Amino acid sequence: MSLLENLNALDSTLIVCDDKNNLIYRGVKNLQNVSIIDVSHVNVYDLLRYRNLIISKEDINKLMEVLS
Put simply, whether the predicted model's pTM sits higher than 0.85 gets the answer: no
pLDDT at 23: 78
pLDDT at 32: 81
10-residue averages of pLDDT along the chain (68 residues): 58 82 76 87 91 89 87
pLDDT at 26: 79
pLDDT at 2: 62
Q: Going by C-beta distance under 8 Å and a sequence separation of 6 or more, which residues neighbour residue 17? A: 24, 36, 38, 39, 55, 56, 59
